[in-house]
Chains A and B, each alone.
Chain A
Amino acid sequence: MKPKDTPNFVATRNACKMCTPLGACLAFSGIEGCVPFLHGSQGCSTYIRRYLISHFREPMDIASSNFGEQAAIFGGQSNLTTGLNNVIESYQPRAIGIATTCLSETIGDDVSMFLNEFRREHADDSGAAPPVFIHASTPSYTGSHFDGYVEAVRAAVETLAEGGEREAGLVNVLPGIVSPADLRHLREIVEGFGLEPIVLPDYADRLDGPSWLEYRRVPEGGVPVADIRRMGRAAATLELGGPAKADAAAGAWLESRHGVTRRRMGLPIGVRATDAMFETLEAISDRPTPKPYADERGRLIDSYVDAHKYVFGRRAVVYGEEDLVAAMTGFLAEVGVTPVLCASGGRSGGLAGAIAAAAPRLADPPTVMEGVDFEELTEAAASADPDLIVGHSKGYKLARRLGAPLVRVGLPIHDRFGAARMMHLGYRGTQQLFDRIVNTLLKVKQDASEPAYTYL
């Protein structure tokens, strides 16, 4: 394996990551009745809204403290106070998720203190309890959107989770940045074992919802605040993740603070990784895997066999968030595709190790790049001679330049329809992903076939 962590360029050219507050806003939108709120200038909330909306094609409100020059110089406390008051008044939220931006972090606003003062004054004013405030520190000069996501999830748990008597059968599920369809599937799987899942965050309904019969300032759905409080009493935490921020994740805190057993594993993509999740759930529930899932597993393996001739030995480039890249590489290796280059804009230092663990039997381990941008990736990919690119929409140009098809996974996907309904996880999600990959390769083969074969 040839890890490569030192980009030759000082500038980032076509980044392969988004900013920290974006991840926090995504996580906050998975809490019931929660309005994400960015403490900084309004452009951040506008940019992040337009970006997430173009992926999910759903409404996404993010409030802002709308810094002006004055706030930038003298601090943003009064803007934060006004903003919170207005959000409370017009949205009546159950929670407000406050993430900082590079602006408020640079000037050193003490948001925790501001929030404490707000709570005190608010209580004096009206006697009514303000909504729950969850505060995540997310300067975008540190880490990527993935770090912001992890930070916000941990902040929610640290703010709310309470200890107490264990609730048997209660399982915390910390899923990582996955699609609404994946979130639904995870919930269903855990329930299939007779367990009660608390999925944090759960933006499945909010970011993939139906038309409305009545107005909703904050769309329905999300994990209730009351459930987050119970997380400290759960029997176990099923934490899906990769090398990034493993020690800072919410599962670690729940274990050290409340003694909730932490079962951390990679994203369940592919048979091997999904088996690990099902085995864990069997252990937690003391029940066997329900037959429908065992059947899905059987069909998946059967399809691996049937499609082996189409995928075997094909060379793949994979990029995206580190947890997704590691899991995807494990899956591709498992079906006989050769991952040749695996890259992330994240920079945890652990991607190569995670890939080695997810894909232990590869004869030729892939080149692994952390902290990569698309120009470096394009350069490296050109010599990797791939048949297939797996990643989000921003790699389209790369795929086009190399003449290799792009199978879209992860976030953002804004050049295809239905990102919210694309599945990646579990036997079922893997099946959908596998079918997509096989069909993508078949299309390439067919388009290149001189007699226009219709039988492949």
Chain B
Amino acid sequence: MSTETDAFSLTPDQAVTSESVRDDLLKVYPKKARRKREKQVLVNRKEADGDGVVSLPQVGANVRTIPGIISQRGCTYAGCKGVILGPTRDIVNITHGPIGCGFYSWLTRRNQTQAPTDEHDNFMTYAFSTDMQDENIIFGGEKKLRAAIQEAYDLFKPKAIAVFSTCPVGLIGDDVHQVAAEMKEKLGVNIFAFSCEGYKGVSQSAGHHIANNQIFKHVIGEDDTSRGKWSVNLMGEYNIGGDAFLIEDLLERCGIDLVATFSGNSTYDQFANSHMAELNCVMCHRSINYVADMIETKYGTPWIKVNFIGAKATAKSLRKIAEYFDDDELTQNVERVISEEYPAVFEAQKKHKPRCEGKRAMLFVGGSRAHHYQELFAELGMKTIAAGYEFAHRDDYEGRNVIPDIKVDADSRNIEELHVDPDPERYDHGRHNQALARASDGVAFKEYDGLMADMPDRALVIDDINHWESDLLIKKIKPDIFCAGIKEKYVVQKMGVPCKQLHSYDYGGPYAGFRGAINFYEEIDRMVNAKVWSMVTPPWEDA
């Protein structure tokens, strides 16, 4: 991707600079709010020192959203139940709380799943809730939760049942973990609970962490069945629009044994067996790096960062996996698959790139997508002029080397950090040694450079962008496309700018891998060149 330092401009006429837009964005805030937003609304100044080492500005990421500022962010419950555990089809999820949270997280994310047959469990279409009423708030909801678990068991006899706490649960003192343990004992299936009350943490990110911890504690390591020599887990891929299906297909054709995906198109058994994989491949660093780290510590499995968004990035990621295993047969397989897929990609680029070249994109979404999708826009010759995450942390912006410097505030301290030790029997020294050997040959483990390194110098980087700021950016910069989610979609389009939803993909996709990239090129071409935009008089045109 481009890191050119010359001629960066937000608009073709260079009427505004990143600095002037930043000033405009910040000046409306009351003093206290402004001080906070100043650290989150940045110009991506890349300063190179004498040795050519580039330093990046520091982002005030993963800090609490200011009350009254309308944020894109969701809550801890959403991150835990909706994002991480939602895509697993055979765990019965019970929301413990009043009805709203369970209802709103009922099949709303577009994570797909494909059970091999109708006989296999798929509970994703169910939204179980204890639907707490006044009396449960006053007298406690444990009894009702127990009954709900019993009912779920009686109905489905599932392998596992998971309980998710919503805001009131922690406050009224229901001990969900105790109830889960009791019912596990009684029913003989795995039952575990998440203290993912919405007010914990600053965003859904806290929920990801809580989900990672409990899956690690209660599920991973339950099944020691050994796996093939090229076995991997795919982490932080949630099968939105069927992305995971395409990646599964690529891996299979390469002969790579995919043990578990965390958590797109996944099952309980996959998680239980995932510690037996040789390598962990991390897609969305933000949401899943905790599990990758914990598995490494306990079982010796190394992890690498991959990205299957973008054709080039996909090829690179497959080659990275092959490099780890360092096996000619696998390398040949990977090269064969890439050469099978790439002709169609070139064809599509030839068709769509001339129609999209030079257009400008803004991406404000997620904890990795705002970075990964820049690959696809670059393949279309489009420039990402402003980007930022909804819930990521400093390392996702500035790279993992800043982790030791990240200040742990009260909000982060509230989220448990599991203490993990190497498993005395199951720690795999072979994997660890393989990683050491490969590292000495230049394979990068546990490494992620973040979004800012890949963005042009002087591009805008905005963390936790809010509604008001998006409006102003659109007015000042008039991007050719704005990528966010459904909450932003209609306000953006009101102003005559197409908005691509990168949470749900506008119910389209898949966009991962090679074929996904082709889908994306087609859709972006269609969106940015649609005639319909000429019918909308945008606010910056004089009436």
- Which A residues have a C-beta under 8 Å from some C-beta of B? 9-15, 17-22, 37, 40-51, 53-54, 57-72, 79-80, 82-87, 89-91, 101-103, 106-107, 139-142, 144, 209, 211-215, 217, 397
Interface membership of B190, Cβ < 8 A: no
* Interface residue tally for chain B (C-beta within 8 Å): 81
Is the beta-carbon distance between A58 and B490 smaller than 8 angstroms?
Answer: yes
Is B189 among interface residues, defined by CB-CB distance under 8 A?
A: no
In the bound complex, do residue A13 and residue B75 qualify as a contact, i.e. CB atoms below 8 Å apart? Answer: no
Complex contact A41–B486 (CB within 8 A): no
Q: Which residue of B lies closest to A66 (CB)?
A: B67
Contacts of A37 in B (CB 8 A): 68
How far is A421 from B543 in the complex, measured between Cα atoms in Å? 28
B67 near A18 with CB under 8 A, answer: no
Q: How far is the CA of A71 from the CA of B537 in the complex (A)?
A: 44
- B468:A12 contact, CB within 8 angstroms: no
Chain B residues positioned under 8 Å from A70 (CB to CB): 410
Q: Kindly list chain A residues whose C-beta atoms are within 8 Å of the C-beta of B30.
A: 85-86, 89
**Pairwise interchain contact A65-B171, C-beta atoms closer than 8 A:** no
Select which of A12, A44, A66, A67 is within 8 A of B71 by beta carbon: A66
Whether A43 pairs with B76 at a CB distance below 8 angstroms is: yes
Assuming A22-B100, A89-B33, what are 10 further A-B pairs, CB within 8 angstroms? A11-B131, A12-B129, A42-B73, A46-B75, A46-B487, A61-B467, A68-B199, A86-B68, A89-B28, A139-B134
| Alpha-carbon gap, A69 to B410, bound state (A) | 9
A141 with B73: CB separation less than 8 A? no
Please name all residues of chain A whose beta carbon is closer than 8 Å to the beta carbon of B104 when the two chains form the complex.
Answer: 18-19, 47-48, 50-51
Tally of contacts, chain A with chain B, CB under 8 A = 236
Top 8 A-B residue pairs of the complex, sorted by shortest distance between their CB atoms? A43-B75, A19-B100, A86-B68, A83-B67, A83-B68, A11-B148, A59-B491, A12-B131
Whether the Cβ atoms of B99 and A17 lie closer than 8 Å is yes
B70 at the interface (CB under 8 A from A): yes
Question: When chains A and B are docked, how far (Å) is the Cα of A9 from the Cα of B171?
Answer: 25
Q: Inside 8 A of A67's CB, which chain B residues have their CB? A: 167, 198-199
- Cβ of B436 under 8 Å from chain A: no
Question: Are A12 and B167 neighbours in the complex by a CB distance under 8 Å?
Answer: no
What residues of chain B lie closer than 8 Å to A80, measured between beta carbons?
Answer: 67
- Assuming the contacts A41-B199, A59-B491, A82-B67, asked whether A15 and B148 have C-beta atoms less than 8 A apart, the reply is no
Contact A12–B168 (Cβ < 8 Å): no
- Across the interface, which residues of B come within 8 angstroms of A66, CB to CB? 64-68, 71
Contacts of B101 in A (CB 8 A): 19, 43, 47
Are A69 and B199 in contact, with the CB atoms below 8 A? yes
**A141-B136, A213-B543 known; A50 and B126 CB under 8 Å?**
no
Query: What residues of chain B lie closer than 8 Å to A71, measured between beta carbons?
Result: 199
Minimum CB distance partner of A11 in chain B: B148
Q: Tell me whether B66 and A102 are in contact (CB under 8 A).
A: no
Residues of A within 8 A of B73 (CB): 42, 46
Give chain A residues whose Cβ lies under 8 Å from the Cβ of B468.
Answer: 90-91, 217
Name 19 A/B residue pairs within 8 A (Cβ), A-sorted: A10-B148, A10-B151, A19-B98, A20-B100, A42-B71, A43-B74, A43-B78, A45-B70, A47-B104, A67-B198, A69-B199, A85-B68, A86-B66, A86-B68, A102-B132, A139-B137, A142-B133, A211-B537, A215-B475
A103 touches B171 (CB 8 A): yes
B487 and A53 form a contact (CB under 8 A): yes
Which residues of chain B are near A9, meaning CB under 8 Å? 151
Known: A10-B148, A53-B489. A107 touches B414 (CB 8 A): no
Closest to A69 in B: B414
Evaluate contact between A72 and B167: CB separation under 8 angstroms: yes
Contacts of A22 in B (CB 8 A): 100
Say yes or no for B200: interface residue by CB 8 A criterion.
Answer: yes
Please determine whether A18 and B99 come into contact, CB atoms closer than 8 angstroms: yes
Q: Does B471 contact A (CB under 8 A)?
A: yes
Tell me if B411 is interfacial: C-beta within 8 Å of chain A. yes
In B502-533, the 8 Å CB interface with A consists of: none
Q: Which residue, A46, A83, A103, has most C-beta atoms of chain B within 10 A?
A: A46
Residues of B within 8 A of A (CB): 28-30, 33, 64-78, 94, 97-106, 108, 125-134, 136-137, 144, 147-148, 151-152, 166-168, 170-172, 197-200, 202-204, 410-411, 414, 467-468, 471, 475, 485-487, 489-491, 494-496, 536-537, 539, 543
Kindly state the separation between the CA atoms of A61 and B470 in the bound complex, as whole angstroms: 13
Closest beta carbon of chain B to A90's beta carbon, Å: 5
The chain B residue with its CB closest to the CB of A76 is B67
Within the assembled complex, what's the spacing in Å between the Cα atoms of A90 and B197?
Answer: 29
User: What's the minimum C-beta distance from B328 to chain A, rounded to whole angstroms?
Assistant: 49
Q: Is there an interface contact between B199 and A72, defined as CB atoms closer than 8 Å?
A: yes
Is the Cβ of B78 less than 8 Å from the Cβ of A103? no
Q: How far is the CB of B116 from chain A (nearest CB, A)?
A: 21
A151 vs B293: C-alpha distance when bound (angstroms): 49
Given A59-B494, A106-B137, A106-B172, is A44 in contact with B100 using a C-beta cutoff of 8 Å? yes
Is B167 a contact of A40 with CB atoms below 8 Å? yes
**A215 close to B539 (CB less than 8 A):** yes
Chain A contacts for B133, CB-based, 8 A: 141-142
CA distance A58 to B489 in the complex (A): 8
User: Which residues from B are CB-within-8-Å of A91?
Assistant: 468
The residues of B that contact A144 with a CB separation of less than 8 Å are: 99
How far apart are the CA atoms of A70 and B103 in the complex, in Å?
A: 27
The complex places the Cα of A440 from the Cα of B8 at a distance, in Å, of 56
Pairwise interchain contact B171-A49, C-beta atoms closer than 8 A: no
**Least Cβ–Cβ distance between B141 and chain A, in angstroms:** 9
Given A9-B151, A41-B199, A141-B98, are A46 and B78 neighbors across the interface (CB < 8 Å)?
yes
Q: Assess the B77–A43 pair: CB atoms within 8 A.
A: yes
Are the C-beta atoms of B167 and A103 separated by less than 8 Å?
yes
**In the bound complex, CA of A11 to CA of B74 (Å):** 25
Distance in angstroms between the alpha carbons of A11 and B106 in the assembled complex: 15
Say yes or no: A212 contacts B66, CB within 8 Å. no
Q: How far is the CB of A336 from chain B (nearest CB, A)?
A: 34
Cα of A139 to Cα of B135 in the assembled complex, Å: 13
Asked if A79 and B167 make an inter-chain contact with CB atoms under 8 angstroms apart, the answer reads: no
B337 shortest CB reach to chain A, Å: 37
Q: Whole-angstrom distance between the alpha carbons of A86 and B469 in the complex?
A: 13
For B137, the closest partner residue in chain A by CB is A141
Instruction: For A14, list chain B residues within 8 Å (CB).
Output: 106, 125-127
A102 touching B98 in the complex, CB below 8 Å, given contacts A66-B71, A79-B67: yes
Once the chains are docked, how many angstroms separate the CA of A49 from the CA of B74? 11
From B66, B136, B171, B487, contact of A82 by CB (8 A): B66
Partner of A47, one of B105, B127, B144, B410: B105
User: Which residue of the partner chain, among A15, A18, A82, A214, contacts B68 with CB atoms under 8 Å?
Assistant: A82
Q: Are the C-beta atoms of B134 and A86 separated by less than 8 Å?
A: no
Closest approach, in angstroms, between the C-beta of B272 and any C-beta of chain A? 25
Cα distance A91–B486 when bound, in Å? Answer: 21
